[in-house]
Structure 1
Amino acid sequence: MAKGTTIRMWHRTIFMLIVMIVIGFGAVAVSLFRLQIVQGEELQTRAVDQYLKDTSINAKRGTIYDCNMKVLAESANVWKVVLEPAYITDKNRDLICTGLAEILDLDKNELLERSQKKTYYDVVKGKVETEIKDEIVKFKKDNQIGNGIRLIEDYKRYYPYGKFASSVLGFTGSDSQGLAGIEAQYDATLTGVSGRLVTAKNALGTDMSFDYEQRVEPQNGYSLVLTLDEVVQHFLEKYLEEGVVNSGARNRACGIVMNVKTGAILGMAVKGDFDPNDPFTLADPTEKAAVDALQGEERKKALNEARQKQWRNKCVSDTYYPGSVFKMVTSSMGFEEGVINENSPFSCPGYYIVADRRISCWKTAGHGGETFSQGLCNSCNPVFIQVGERLGPKTFFKYFEAFGFTQKTGIDLPGESRSIYYDENMGPVELATESFGQNFSITPIQMITGAAAVANGGYLVQPHVVAQVIDDDGNIIRTTDTTVKRQVISNDTSQRVSAILQQTATTGTAKNGYIAGYRVAGKTGTSEKIAEWIAQGKQGEKKYIASYCGYAPADDPQVAMLVFFDEPLRQNGQVFGSAIAGPPFAKTMSEILPYLGIEAKYTEEELAKLDTTTPDVRGKSVQEAQNTIQTAELEAKVYGNGATVVSQVPEPGKSIPKNGQMVLFTDEESASKTVKVPKLTGLTLSQANAAATNAGINISISGAALTGKNAVSNLQSIPEGSDVPPGTIVTVDFVELDSVE
């Protein structure tokens, strides 16, 4: 080969080597540029993510208080038990899994399997109480276990009063998220911001050669101060529950107590309800038995429906025909427009003809001639049909809308329903039926808000259940002020309607809600569930809703209350709001009003019938005790042969009817004497008094006996046949049987 050719080959080879080196270094340079400059920040983040492990630390959910700062819902410390498999060796694996299985009541074999995962973090049980946590800490200490088991602070929601106000409070889920009620409505406010625990770990999840752990503290959620008053709520729930039992209400019952001037909800309850500490368990045994009798998908569907029903707040989420309670609103319309006054004459033959319909009055024989005031006291349907005609559909609907019945109230609770109604183009039959509260559906919260406007001078106020939002230190973050949407009627109209409603509650159809001394303005309602009946082909039982809505004092209204019982059973052949809803209303308000500091003002007739208080005569001579009792306008009956009173019935300070009998025991033998409680229901007042006297007991009367002429006893506080000491006081409730609307 020629020398020149060889030289050229070497030149080409060297050139190619240079080119390859240049290309190689160029590729490396480009790659370095891409990795360091273009993707540098991203790769650095990914690298950090590979060795930094981030664990969430739950924030403490805010507390829910009543208006007096009594705790209604709070979050207490619990613990999350975490297994750290990367730290567990064959030497301590069995020890750790055996110990945790026993303490946490878990399967040991499952824990053994989980302990061999390629991870440093495996939650084996959450929401562990402090007592169990302490057992685990002791187990670790006793067995000198360092890493392998970790305890992370967590929180669990508690409702200290159980079922109390559950329909308002709602409940939280397993991750502490609000699922119903206030808990859901204010979830973002209550939740807070989770913290973080950042630690450095290698590929297996174990610690790096250097120590790194950073804790970002969680920010606790804000707390809520409600308008609910625990005492008011207690009275409401107590008598609402009693009313459900006595009436046999088959589709639950609800009650609302509202400050008429501010819209603050002082009490709101639904019966039957549920325990928010265990919300997924059916509280109604009948519902539970029906669901448990099913299987498969059918059972799953029925269970879900039953749970949704018990969680549903009937006060805001259900609509109903308000019935004659609505007549207070129609009355206000008529006065405000000047189409009626207190003495406007009407006639009721027992029905009224509208278009092609004959619409009956509840009193089929008719009320005859009556003024408007008498018509409202009699709850006469023909009177209110004629008031509706005088107003006309456009004016009627103008007020219907102004009272808030076409819009949600905007109460700060979830699930508020919309009303169903006819607009200003309604026909004459629709106008007639709506004028006395039928043929349209509203929610209970709409009805009591409208009633508050009738009571407070005509102002439609915004109902609300949260008064303040506060932080951990009690600093006020936000306050709910009174919001007046508009004035619907004049103060003059409000006062005139209230005066007639007071008369209605004293001597009219609403007198089963009468409370001595407190000047109640009230109205009953008995509404037919006509749509359901028609849907059933007008076959079977026609069902009703019995309600009572009122406020007090009538001359200066402070508090309004609505109670209604859905699908009650008939009592003495009746299913009317007066007999079913009136007594629970009266009992609740008779406790609420004095608690709220509202002064009683008794008439002379009421004072003559009021109970007195038993004096303390224990330790006195028999003669001295008899003189003291006589001075208190009571009678004395003595048992035993001793000279000194050793015990007495009723006890000192108990309420007893004037001219009632105190029983004095003068020796131990006489103190053991008992008498039997007689049957005290189904009687007039004089008959009940006679039965009590013959049995040697006292009765305390409540309900319509103070004002009603045809009052009959329907409940007694101590069952017939019970053995009690002589002189024991039995409370007997009376209802007025001619008050049927």
Structure 2
Amino acid sequence: MVKKKVYIVSFLIVAGFLIVILRLLYFQVIKRDEYTQFIKKQYYTQEKIILPRGTIYDKNGKILAISVPTIDVFVLTKHIKNRDRLAKELSIILKKPYSNILKKLSSHRNYVVIARNVDKSLKDRLLKIRRDLKEWNLGLIDSSKRFYPLGSIGGSNIGFVSRVTGKGMEGLELKYDSKLGGGTGKILMMKDALGNPFTIEKEDEKNRYDIKLTIDSNIQYIAQEALKKFVRERKPKEALILIVDPKTGNIIANATYPDYNPNLYWKYTVHKNISFQNAYEPGSLVKPFVLAEAIDEGKVSFKRKYYCGDGKIVVDGVKIRDHKRFKFLTPDEIIIHSSNVGAITLALRLDPEKFYDRLLSLGFGKSTKTFPGEAKGLIKKSKRPVDIAYASIGQNWTATPIQIAMAYSAIANGGYLLKPNFIKEIINPQTGKTIKVEKKIIGKVFSDRSLKKLKSTLKLVVEEGTAKKGKSKYFTIAGKTGTAQKYDPKIKALSKEKFYTWFAGYFPAENPQFTVVIFANEPKKIKKWEVIGGGSVSAPVLRELVDRIMFYMKGKPDKVGGKNGD
């Protein structure tokens, strides 16, 4: 009987152990994730911090954007002993209103952030307050913020990072967001049985890369200074100076108006970069392309002069006027003096399909995919003579300034359309490994025959034609002016007061190092009698701009004994 009882007891003990083991296996294996999450909710709370991003440099290694270490200041409000005194002390150091801080300290929430992105140099003073006041529930967390050392220099190109999400919001910060890294991370704050945080664990930082741009911040500064002066004088709605290396497609500088300081991005209502995100009628900048197509189709002779209508031409019953009353001009002179009637006369001799294909081959009508939110421009392939006439003088279709820059770069570099580029190299800061970005050739878009004629003609445009107000005493420049009348919805016709004005070209003319585009939207007259146009408005910016850039580059003057054009 006793033996039987021993067996029963032993069985019950073993069975009990088995049940416990099975329950432990059930909780630790089958229900492990579910209970882990439950425990975390009970004993952990999550807070967000801004993670550092990769650094952005200019082509020479100067810092354009960097993540600066900061601290976030928080309190556990239930355990603050003297809210009034702490609010006064924090107000002095953080330079924030006392009433705002006191309101946060009086919150019913247990964990409250008093200030984010506080300068790390204040850390010792904040810790001293905690010691002096014995407010041990005042805490500091390491964080970071994006800082742009050059302020608005190149701001509309670089873009900015959100103060809330730590992610790129505009410009190159947005385009290369996945490479630069950053964003928000999490900190786990352990809680005791009463729900009070007492330990902090920080989430590992994400992979990030540094980026070196093709921008030269010194040339960017020169361009922005020239643009500021231009804006003060002309008071346009918008304006820009865009500078590209025609041999590589690298963007060297891009000054825009309006622009912004990315350190204070929230104070600006407009964050557009008009060189990429807006498209405009190009006006007479198109005329050299008309001449190139006429040469390639064999529809023009340089041994004869073409009748330019004494200032007007009628196409499909529509009268189109010239800016001057020209009678007979050679093909070169049509470009040099920018005759509308002359360009239309040449265009109407062309195969319409080939004419539009020429414009499309130059990159018009499609995005270069260089910048976020980039516009495509619009070309309507209408074969009506009047539509071809307007297209040949840059009206009734639109192009972005970057498309214009790349088309003129193709003239400068021997006929090749290149993809524009902002990135010189991408660097892994952990390994030091560098990925260099090579130039990309889209295709040859000008024949050698047409190029030879275009180069000599565009040089004469600056030396003695419509752009002569911009010629340098020291360096040769080649290019073309452009003027496009804006459509005025009030009068339902082209305005006689509102214009887009352009200059596009390259320098030095014989060995081009830079392509430049200068643009203004509705520039104002300086003198009442003045005629607004690319030659009178955009070209004059050239002289000082070219000289300053070339002397900065230690370029040797390629003109001897020349005179400044007036």
Q: TM-score, normalised by structure 2?
A: 0.88
8 Å Cα contact 1:75/1:156 also seen in 2: yes
1:549 aligns with 2:510: no
Q: Which residue of 1 aligns with 2:161?
A: 172
Deviations 1:169-192 (A, max 9, x none): 112221222221112222222224
- Seen in structure 2, the aligned counterparts of structure 1 residues 488 and 541 have a Cα distance that, compared at 3 Å, is closer
1:649 matched to which residue of 2?
Answer: none
Over 3 Å counting, the alpha-carbon distance change for 1:535 and 1:446 in structure 2 is farther
For 1:207 and 1:267, the matched residues in 2 are separated by 50
How far has the Cα of 1:233 moved from its partner? Answer: 0.8
- Cα deviation digits, residues 269-304 of structure 1 (max 9, x gap): 11232222212324xxxxxxxxxxxxxxxxxxxxxx
User: Which whole-Å deviations, capped at 9, do the CAs of 1:646-667 have from their partners, x for residues lacking one?
Assistant: xxxxxxxxxxxxxxxxxxxxxx
Which of 538, 542, 565 is the equivalent residue of 1:581? 538
Aligned positions of 1:179-258 closer than 5 A: 179-192=169-182, 197-198=187-188, 200-206=190-196, 214-219=201-206, 221-249=208-236, 251-258=237-244
- How far is 1:44 from its partner? 3.5
1:133 aligns to what? 123
Alignment map for 1:550-569 (pairs within 5 Å)? 550-569=505-524
Corresponding residue for 2:266? 280
Note the 1:98-109 alignment, pairs <5 A: 98-104=88-94, 105=96, 106-107=98-99, 109=102
Tell me, yes or no, if structure 1 residue 352 matches structure 2 residue 313.
Answer: yes
- Once residues 182 and 267 of structure 2 are traced to their aligned partners in structure 1, the CA distance between those partners, rounded to angstroms, is 28
Q: In 2, are the aligned partners of 1:194 and 1:218 still within 8 Å (CA)?
A: no
CA distance in 2, matches of 1:520, 1:343: 26
Once structures 1 and 2 are overlaid, which stretch shifts more, 148-157 or 260-269?
A: 148-157
From the superposition, tell whether residues 361 and 213 of structure 1 become closer, same or farther in structure 2 (CA, over 3 Å).
closer
Distance 2:35 2:439 in 1: 56
Cα deviation, residue 102, structure 1: 4.5
Q: Secondary structure at the match of 1:390?
A: coil
Residue-by-residue CA offset, 1:532-579 (whole Å, 9 max, x unaligned): x14543498631011111112222322110101110112433111111
Q: What is the identity, as a one-letter code, of the residue corresponding to 2:250?
A: A
Shift of 1:256: 0.4
SS in 1 for 2:260: coil
Instruction: Tell me whether 1:362 sits opposite 2:332 in the alignment.
Output: no
Task: Sort the Cα spacing of 1:40 and 1:63 in 2 relative to 1 into closer, same or farther, 3 A.
Answer: closer
Per-residue CA deviations over 1:4-54 (Å, capped at 9, x if unaligned) read: xxxxxxxxxxxxxxxxxxxxxxx9999888656643442244224432445
How many Å apart are 1:593 and its aligned residue?
A: 2.3
- 1:32-81 per-position Cα deviation (integer Å, ceiling 9, x unaligned): 88656643442244224432445555321222211111112222122100
Equivalent residue letter for 2:287? K
Residue aligning to 2:245: 259
Residue 373 of structure 1 and its aligned partner are, at CA, apart by 0.9
Aligned-partner residue type, residue 161 of structure 1: L
Which consecutive unaligned segments of at least 5 residues does structure 1 have? 1-26, 283-306, 610-702, 705-733, 735-741
Relative to structure 1, the CA distance from residue 343 to residue 475 in structure 2 (aligned partners, 3 Å threshold; closer, same or farther) is farther
1:616-636 deviation digits (Å, cap 9, x = unpaired): xxxxxxxxxxxxxxxxxxxxx
Amino acid at match of 2:360: E
Does the aligned pair in 2 maintain the 1:521–1:550 contact within 8 Å? yes
| Alignment partner, residue 502 of structure 1 | 459
Question: Are 1:407 and 2:366 an aligned pair?
Answer: yes
Q: 1:539 and 1:207 mapped to 2: Cα distance?
A: 68
| Alpha-carbon offset, residue 82 of structure 1 | 1.2
| Whole-angstrom distance in 2 between the partners of 1:504 and 1:40 | 79
The 5 A counterparts of 1:683-698 are none
Partners of 1:518 and 1:336 lie apart in 2 by 30
User: Which residue identity does 2:298 align to in structure 1?
Assistant: G
Residues 90-105 of structure 1 mapped to structure 2, 5 A cutoff: 90=81, 96-104=86-94, 105=96
For residues 5-84 of structure 1, the aligned pairs below 5 Å read 38-84=30-76
| Cα gap change, 1:407 to 1:520, in 2 (>3 Å) | same
Between the aligned residues of both structures, percent identity stands at: 28
Give the match for residue 418 of structure 1: 376
* Structure 2, unpaired ranges of 5+: 1-18
- Specify whether residues 126 and 361 from structure 1 end up closer, same or farther in structure 2 by C-alpha distance, changes over 3 A only: same
In structure 1, distance between residues paired with 2:426 and 2:549: 26
Look up the match of 2:298.
338
**Paired amino acid for 1:377:** I
User: For the residues of structure 2 that align with 1:213 and 1:152, how far apart are their CA atoms?
Assistant: 9
Contact 2:67 2:147 in 1 (8 A): yes
Q: Which has the higher contact order (CA 8 A, sep 6+)?
A: 2
Residue identity matched to 2:377: S
Equivalent residue letter for 1:316: F
Cα shift at 1:89: 5.8
Counterpart residue number, 1:113: 106
Structure 1 Cα separation of the partners of residues 379 and 490 of structure 2: 18
Any idea what the Cα deviations from partners look like across 1:221-276, whole Å, max 9, x if unmatched?
32221111111111111111111122232x12111000111110101011232222
For residue 482 of structure 1, what is the aligned residue in structure 2?
Answer: 439
Instruction: Kindly indicate whether residue 343 of structure 2 is the aligned counterpart of residue 384 of structure 1.
Output: yes
Q: Deviations over 1:432-479 (max 9, x none)?
A: 111121111111111111111122111110011121122336824432
CA distance 1:213–1:83, shift in 2 (3 Å): closer
Please say which structure displays the higher CA radius of gyration: 1
Give, in whole Å, the separation in 2 of the partners of 1:595 and 1:60. 34
Partners of 1:41 and 1:256 in 2: how far apart?
A: 57
The answer as to whether partners of 1:510 and 1:582 remain within 8 angstroms in 2 is: yes
- Supply the AA of the counterpart residue of 2:417: L
1:313 aligns with 2:273: yes
Describe the shift of the 1:72–1:474 C-alpha distance in structure 2 as closer, same or farther (beyond 3 A): farther
**In 2, are the aligned partners of 1:551 and 1:559 still within 8 Å (CA)?**
yes
Q: Which amino acid in structure 2 is aligned with residue 347 of structure 1?
A: Y
Equivalents in 2 of 1:203, 1:416: separation in Å?
55
Specify whether residues 473 and 517 from structure 1 end up closer, same or farther in structure 2 by C-alpha distance, changes over 3 A only. farther
Report the aligned-residue RMSD: 2.9
Give the direction of change, closer, same or farther, for the CA distance of 1:556–1:491 in structure 2 (3 Å limit): farther
For residue 50 of structure 1, what is the amino acid of its counterpart? Q
